[in-house]
Amino acid sequence: MDRINVKEKNIKELEALSDEIRKRILEVVSKNGGHLSSTLGATEIIVAMHKVFDSQKDPFIFDVSHQAYAHKLLTGRWEEFDTLRQFNGICGYTKPSESTDDYFVAGHSSTSISLGVGAAKAIALKGEQDERIPVVLIGDGSMTAGMVYEALNELGDRKYPMVIILNDNEMSIAKPIGAISRMLSSAMASPFYQRFKKNTESFVDNFGEGARYIAKRMEESLKLVTPGMLFEEMGINYIGPVDGHNIAQLVDIMQTARKLNKPVIIHAQTLKGKGYEIAEGKEEKWHGVGPFDLSSGNSAKKAANKSATQIYTESLLALCEKNEKIVGVTAAMPSGTGLSELIEKYPTRFWDVAIAEQHAVTSMAALAKEGFKPFCTIYSTFLQRAYDQVIHDTCIMDLPVVFALDRAGIVGEDGETHQGVFDVSYLRAIPNMTLFAPRDEKSFHQAMGFAAKYEHPCSLRYPRGSFIETDLPESAPFELAKSQLLQTAKSDILLIGYGNGVGRAYETSKYLDEDVTILDLRFVKPLDEEMLKELSKKYKKWFVFSDTAKLGGVASALLEFLAKENILDISVVSFEYEDEFITHGNTKVVEESLQLLPEQLAQRIKAYNP
C-alpha cells in the first residue's frame, strides 16, 4: 500500500483510519510480538501529526520510537508491516535506512528534544523557518531523564520554533485541578487567546514596569492551576492537558502551535493500550510483548527453561536475607531486570529511579561509600548511558558497586540499539574494574556470592532468556582470576568460553570430529594467567566463544596477555561479533546470518589452517 494521504481526510475519516491502524497493529503484534500499549495509545496523536505537518519535510522525531507503529503504517509500510521485528523486515523503531520519513534512529530514551533543538538550529542556519519545523513526540516516561531538561533549558533560551507533543499515559492529575486545566487549556490553545496574549504584551510594554509586573502576576496565577508552570518558566509555551484521543482537538491545537513560531509543548493525555480492552491501563506487561492470543491476551509461547533474570532475582533475594547491607537500583526496568520482587519485599533498600542511568550509578556509588553493597541492575545496552559515572564516580573511588548486566549478547528483535555486545569492551579499559560471567544456574549463584563479598567495582553479565544447557562438570566456587578447566583432550584445540559462550563452545564441540579441551574462562579481567600459561604449552589453537564485540573483547584480552608474556606460537581465533551493528530478528536467525551457529562454528574450526 502507498502512503496514506491523511491531509485530504476529514475528522470522521481520520477517526475511522485510527481504528484501522489499531486493528493492524494488534493483528501484527499479536503474531510477531513487539511494543503494544504505548503505540496503541499514541495512534490519534500520530494521525493528527501527519494531518498538520509533513514528515517528508518536517523532522518527525520520536522518543524511543517504539510508539511509532502508526507512523510506519501511514508512510507506505502497511503491507510490509507483517514483517515487523523479523530478520530483514520492518524495524521496531524508526530507522532512516528503512524510510525517508524516519528522521533519526531512536531506540534509547530521552534524546528527542535534543535532536529537535539540533534540527531547529540547522533549519535556522539554512533559512528554512517558513518551510520546516521540528515535531517531537515524547512519552512522559522519557521526561524522567536529565538529558530532556538540558535540551529544554537551551530551547527556552534560544526560542527556536518547535512543537513538542508530550504523550502522557502515566501522570496523574487530580480531578478538580484537571477539570480546570482542561477548561483553561482549550482557551490557551485557541487563536484568540494567543493573539490576545501577544497584543497584551505589546500593550503593557507602553505602560512601563508596573503594568508588566501586574500582567505577569495575573498570567502566573493562571499557570498555577495547570501542569505547565515548569515549562512556561523555562520559556516554552505550554498547551494542555488535552485529550490525546480527540483528533479534532489535536488537529486544531497543532495548527495553532505551528503558527506561533515559538517552542511549544502540547500536553496530551492518552490511555495505554487504547482500543484493546485487555491491555488498557498501566500494566507494565503490555508495554512490550511476545506473540499472544488476541482473543484472550494469553501468551502464545510455551514456558521456557528458567531465565538468567529469574536466577538473578532468586540469588539476590537469598543474599539479601543474609546481608542487610545489600541494596540495589534499576532504571525504569524493574520487571525486565527482575528487581520487582526485590522492590516489593525490600522497598527501603531497592529503588527504581526511572530512566536515569547516570543518577542510578552515582547514587549507588554514594551508598557504597557509606558502607552498603549496591547491585546496580541495568541492561548491558543501557549502561552505556552512564559510562562517565562508572569511571568517575565508581572506579576512581574504587567503590564496591556490582554492575549486574542483563540482556548481554544478542537480544533479537529489538536490534541495533539494544544488542548487549559492547560492555566487555568498554568496561575492560577502566582501572579497578573486575569482569566475570557465569555459564549456568549454579555458577550464577556462585558468581553472585563472590560479587556480594568483593571489595572493588565489578561487573557480571548474563543473557536474555536461558543459559545454554550442557553436560559439562558442575561449576566450582568462584575465586578471583580463577578459570575452570571443564574437559581435556589430546588434540591441540582449546575452546575458551566466557559466560554463555561456554555453552556455545560445548555445543560446537559436538559437531567436531575429535575431542577438544574446554575452558570456562570466568574472569576476563583479571585473567587466570597461570592457567593460560600452562594451557599454552600444550594447546596451540585457541578458539574464543563469547557474546561480545570482537574489538576490545575477550580474544583481545587473551592476545594482549600472550603478547605480554612473549608467547608467540599460539593461534587465537575469535568467534565474537565483528565490527558492525547487529540487525534485528529472531536470535537464531541473526546468529545464522553471522555464521555463529554451533554447526557453522564447527565447520570454521575444521577449515582453519593457520
Q: What is the pLDDT of residues 190-215, one digit of tens each?
A: 554 555 455 555 555 555 565 555 55
Q: Could you confirm whether 212 is annotated as catalytic?
A: no
Q: What is the pLDDT of residues 499-532, one digit of tens each?
A: 999 999 999 999 999 999 999 999 999 999 999 9
Task: Write down the pLDDT at residue 193.
Answer: 53
449 marked among binding-site residues: no
Task: Write down the pLDDT at residue 122.
Answer: 97
Q: What pTM does this model have? A: 0.89
Q: Could you confirm whether 385 is annotated as catalytic?
A: yes
- Cα dihedral value 374, 378, 381, 384, nearest 10: -40
Catalytic residue chosen out of the listed positions 385, 439, 522, 550? 385
| The domain defined by 11-171+234-289 carries CATH number 1.10.3720.10 | no
50 marked among binding-site residues: no
Task: Write down the pLDDT at residue 473.
Answer: 94
550-555 long-range Cβ contacts below 8 angstroms, 24+ apart: 550/574, 550/576, 550/577, 550/578, 550/579, 551/425, 551/579, 552/424, 552/425, 552/426, 552/428, 552/429, 553/424, 553/425, 554/424, 554/496, 554/498, 554/501, 554/521, 554/524
Q: What is the pLDDT of residues 285-328, one digit of tens each?
A: 788 888 888 888 888 776 568 999 999 999 999 999 999 999 99
380 marked among binding-site residues: no
Question: Is 25's pLDDT higher than 60?
Answer: yes
Mean pLDDT of 170-183: 43
CATH fold for domain 484-607: Rossmann fold (3.40.50)
228 marked among binding-site residues: no
Q: Could you confirm whether 591 is annotated as catalytic?
A: no
- Tell me if domain 11-171+234-289 and domain 484-607 are identical in fold: yes
Question: What are the distances in angstroms from CA 102 to CA 76, 106, 265?
Answer: 12, 10, 21
Sheet holding 571-574, edge to edge: 484-487, 517-520, 493-497, 541-545, 571-574
State how far the Cα of 107 lies from the Cα of 502, in Å rounded to an integer.
30
Mean pLDDT of 81-102: 94
| The domain defined by 308-461 carries CATH number 3.40.190.10 | no
Task: Write down the pLDDT at residue 552.
Answer: 97
Mean pLDDT of 56-64: 95
Question: Would you place residue 282 in the very low, low, confident or very high pLDDT band (cuts 50, 70, 90)?
Answer: low
Mean pLDDT of 10-14: 97
Task: Write down the pLDDT at residue 177.
Answer: 37
Task: Write down the pLDDT at residue 584.
Answer: 95
State how far the Cα of 389 lies from the Cα of 364, in Å rounded to an integer.
10
Task: Write down the pLDDT at residue 265.
Answer: 95
Task: Write down the pLDDT at residue 96.
Answer: 94
Q: What is the pLDDT of residues 435-480, one digit of tens each?
A: 999 999 999 999 999 999 999 999 999 999 999 999 999 999 999 9
Q: What is the pLDDT of residues 333-381, one digit of tens each?
A: 999 999 999 999 999 999 999 999 999 999 999 999 999 999 999 999 9
Identify the weakest region by mean pLDDT among 72-76, 164-168, 202-206, 489-493: 202-206
State how far the Cα of 528 lies from the Cα of 482, in Å rounded to an integer.
5
66 marked among binding-site residues: yes
Catalytic residue chosen out of the listed positions 85, 272, 504, 525? 272
Catalytic residue chosen out of the listed positions 44, 77, 349, 357? 357
Give the closest residue to 286 by CA, choosing from 272, 271, 300: 272
What φ, ψ does residue 402 adopt, rounded to 5°? -100, 125
Residue 288 CB neighbour total at 10 angstroms: 19
107 marked among binding-site residues: yes
State how far the Cα of 83 lies from the Cα of 86, in Å rounded to an integer.
5
Strands 434-436 and 60-62: unpaired
475 marked among binding-site residues: no
**How much of the chain exceeds pLDDT 90, in percent?**
78
Task: Write down the pLDDT at residue 175.
Answer: 39
Question: Would you place residue 231 in the very low, low, confident or very high pLDDT band (cuts 50, 70, 90)?
Answer: confident
Question: Is 330's pLDDT higher than 50?
Answer: yes
Task: Write down the pLDDT at residue 609.
Answer: 84
Mean pLDDT of 157-173: 82
State how far the Cα of 169 lies from the Cα of 157, in Å rounded to an integer.
28
Task: Write down the pLDDT at residue 556.
Answer: 98
491 marked among binding-site residues: no
Task: Write down the pLDDT at residue 207.
Answer: 54
Where do the domains of the chain lie?
11-171+234-289, 177-226, 308-461, 484-607
Q: What is the pLDDT of residues 543-556, one digit of tens each?
A: 999 999 999 999 99
**How much of the chain exceeds pLDDT 70, in percent?**
89
